[in-house]
Amino acid sequence: MILHELISFDSLRLIWWLLLGTLLIAFALTDGFDLGTGTLLPFVARNDVERRVVINTVGPVWEGNQVWFILGGGAIFAAFPPLYAVSFSGFYLAMFAILAALIVRPVAFKFRSKREDATWRARWDWALFFGGAVPAALFGVAVGNVLLGVPFHLTPDLHSIYDGGPFGKFFGLLRPFALLCGAVSLAMLIVHGAGWIVLKTEGAIADRARRYGSVAAMLVLAGYALAGLWLAFGIEGYALAQAPLRDAPSNPLASTVIHGGSWLSAYADRPWIAIAPVMGFVGTAMAWRALRSGGELSPLGWSKMAVFGMISSVGLTIYPFLLPSTTDPHSSLTIWDASSSHQTLFVMLMATVIFLPMILAYTAWVYRVLWGKVTEDDVSDPDSHSY
């Protein structure tokens, strides 16, 4: 037996769908509170020392957290190449805006304290706000467009053509439902950032984070509920007209896709997936309660549950679709027809089994070493090497 045949092709496709979701959720759980903290920076900190305290809560960890974003993009490229080709082409300008914001963020970390000038530092503080808020919102806009479907089609030789036009690659993504998803994503990560600030700071900074986080949590609950109702009654879903060829070579054009009905019919077919949106609602509500009641660790813990549930609910709702097409439903990408080869998925899985536990162990060690609150005395110490 050939080594890669130890695990069936359909099992590997499902495993990599789960791993891709895991990597994206890990990015949201870790770098998500960095983005939320940056978004809250101008509002929870009122003077230079307080802003330095907030910045230094994420200063030692943001680079490591961002690795999950790289891993997620790499997993899409290697495990589902058609998804990478279509999404990075159709979302090109949005991706550029996200990357520009993520590039500005480390520059702001490094240069903010190079000069004592208040105007200089204020500009970099708003750069950190930009570097947090823009990706947080645009990631949600992207998710909203996945649920709506994207205007692309595949030629007979599987060359992907984006039908939205050059300006449609950005402005065409700003549809009302997608903007709502962007607002929910931004508010969700603000709650997450508030939970982190409460855990890592004390006094007035933590109190302000509780207030802003509480408001954001209420917006998340309202926006998530509205998005669910909109998805149920205002947006048509996609479905396979016949059983997928789970073990066949990848060919997105081999599937027959129906556009119509509701995405939420998935909950009738697989009732157990309702646990994901329930986790989203309960986690957000409990994060709001924990922020209001003075909890320190619990707001972050509950917000992690909310983030996990909300992101999972999207993947479970559209399963087995990865990216539906509005202009040619038969070009829609699913996990069964848009993956790499059997051998490629197996080799990648073996590498993941070896290296992912190492990454997790190192990450856990880093957070253990850096455990504790950041105080004004810490950032005022000239020997602390703080930002």
Q: Structure tokens of 96?
A: 């550029």
**Looking at residue 113, what is its pLDDT?**
83
CA-based torsion, 187, 24, 63, 104: positive or negative:
negative
**Each residue of 233-258: pLDDT tens digit?**
989 999 988 888 888 888 888 888 88
**Looking at residue 167, what is its pLDDT?**
53
**Three-state DSSP class for residue 249:** coil
**Looking at residue 217, what is its pLDDT?**
97
pTM over 0.75: yes
List, in sequence order, every residue forming a beta bridge with 162; answer none if it has no partner. 152
**Looking at residue 285, what is its pLDDT?**
97
Q: Structure tokens of 291?
A: 């922020």
Contact present, 324 and 318 (Cβ < 8 Å): yes
Distance from chain centroid for Cα 63: 16
**Each residue of 338-351: pLDDT tens digit?**
999 999 999 999 99
Walk along the chain (387 residues) in steps of 10 and give the mean pLDDT of each run: 75 94 93 94 92 90 86 90 86 86 90 87 92 94 92 86 66 88 97 96 93 97 96 91 83 86 90 96 97 91 97 95 91 92 92 90 87 80 68
Measured distance CA(321)–CA(292) in Å, rounded: 39
**Each residue of 260-318: pLDDT tens digit?**
888 999 999 999 999 999 999 999 999 999 999 988 889 999 999 999 999 999 999 99
Measured distance CA(260)–CA(243) in Å, rounded: 17
Burial of 167 (0-12, 13-18, 19+ CB in 10 A): exposed
